[in-house]
Structure 1
Amino acid sequence: MKIGVVSDSHGDIHALRSALKSIGDADLVIHLGDGINDIDAVSQYIKTEIIKVKGNCDFNSGLDAERIIMAENKRLLITHGHNYNVKSDYLNIHYKAIKEDAHMVLFGHTHFPEIIENNNIILFNPGSISKPRGTGRTYGIVIIEKGLIMPKIWDLHL
């Protein structure tokens, strides 16, 4: 299974389209918030399922702040991250993953790409496709096959 992961598009539809084009054929696309209107605007061009959660800048969206999904028998916690103080540390989000028995947490909010494995839980932040901090514009691809979760961060070249 191939999952494209984007976050923090903040109105930059051009960057979002470029990221989706770079991701290519995916079984699933996940938008981690702060720009869910952007993914709605381009959803007609995407042939795959889209999962989205609201971020702290997605006012009155009516979406959930987090979701749990199953992908290839792996439990994924999807959230923007602001409710877990991820700009300070990852302790709260890691505890939430343990509580939810998640194999992986996908989150944004910090605009900084990171992959951390801690006690068999993968914390995955694809960074921001519009307003990066400390790096260039980035997105993520997660491959799940044969019981393995293989996340990778990719640079977005506009």
Structure 2
Amino acid sequence: MEKDLKYKKIAVLGDTHHNTERLVSALKGQGVEYFLFTGDYYDDAVRLSRELKVGFTGVLGNCDLLSGQTGASLEECINIYGKKVYLLHGHQYRVKEGLNLLYYRALEVEADVVIFGHTHIPFCDRIDDVFFLNPGSPSKPRKGNKGTYMVIDGERERFNVRLFEL
């Protein structure tokens, strides 16, 4: 059964790679009530949840698998404000090479929104009727980007996403 989230502010982050200090301060300032974690250093998500005193839904990334991290799955489906959200890291669909494989997986799971990581590059775009979101990385950004994360704001039960730089 899918989780049904109705928090007003949901952070989206991942690829933290054991560097979360600036992220904690930023998320506390945002008034985040819950967060989604796209993998790579899942133990960071557990620690952030304790420090922020909020719950989270997270998935394992390729670095988690290499470290032997267990306790979470590679993918999750959740509902946020009436949208079916497919959460994963993305390495298993080779997202660094493009979104074609991930797009077809999104169709298989009937996702309205796909949230993924792995590339360390923020991304927000729509392919046909599926929205693809990648929060980038707060600690190891690539391609000249600054550290980033996203916040889903549901003040009016709508799916509004904003990108924030650290």
Distance across 2 between alignment mates of 1:109 and 1:37: 16
Q: Which amino acid aligns with 1:23?
A: Q
- The Cα of 1:144 is off from its aligned counterpart by 4.1
TM-score normalised by structure 1 residue count: 0.90
| Mapping for residues 41-60 of structure 1, pairs under 5 Å | 41-58=47-64, 59-60=67-68
**Counterparts of residues 116-127 of structure 1 (less than 5 Å):** 116-127=125-136
Quote how far apart the aligned CAs of 1:148 are.
Answer: 4.0
Per-residue deviation at 1:20?
2.2
Matching residue of 1:38: 44
Q: Do residues 15 (structure 1) and 25 (structure 2) align? A: no
Identity, in percent, stands at 34
The answer for the alignment partner of 1:115 in structure 2 is: 124
CA distance in 2, matches of 1:118, 1:128: 22
Q: CA deviation at 1:47?
A: 2.8
**Kept after mapping to 2: 8 A contact 1:126/1:139:** yes
* 1:72–1:145 contact (8 Å) kept in structure 2: no
1:141 aligned residue: 151
Distance 1:141 1:77, change over 3 A: same
**Cα-Cα RMSD:** 1.7
Partner of residue 155, structure 1: 165
Counterpart of 1:133 in structure 2: which amino acid? R
Consecutive unaligned residues in structure 2, runs of 5 or more: 1-7
With 34-43 and 124-133 compared, the bigger mean Cα shift is at: 34-43
Q: CA deviation at 1:35?
A: 1.6
Unmatched tracts of structure 1, length 5 or more = none
1:74 is aligned to 2:73: no
**Residue 69 of structure 2 is aligned with which of 52, 61, 75?**
61
1:43 maps to a residue whose letter is: S
Q: Are the equivalent residues in 2 in contact too, given 1:16–1:39 (CA < 8 A)?
A: no
- How many correspondences in the alignment? 155
Q: CA deviation at 1:147?
A: 6.6
CA positional deviation for 1:123: 0.2
Q: Is the 8 A contact 2:24 2:52 kept in 1?
A: no
- CA distance in 2 between counterparts of 1:23 and 1:5 reads 12
Shift of 1:2: 2.3
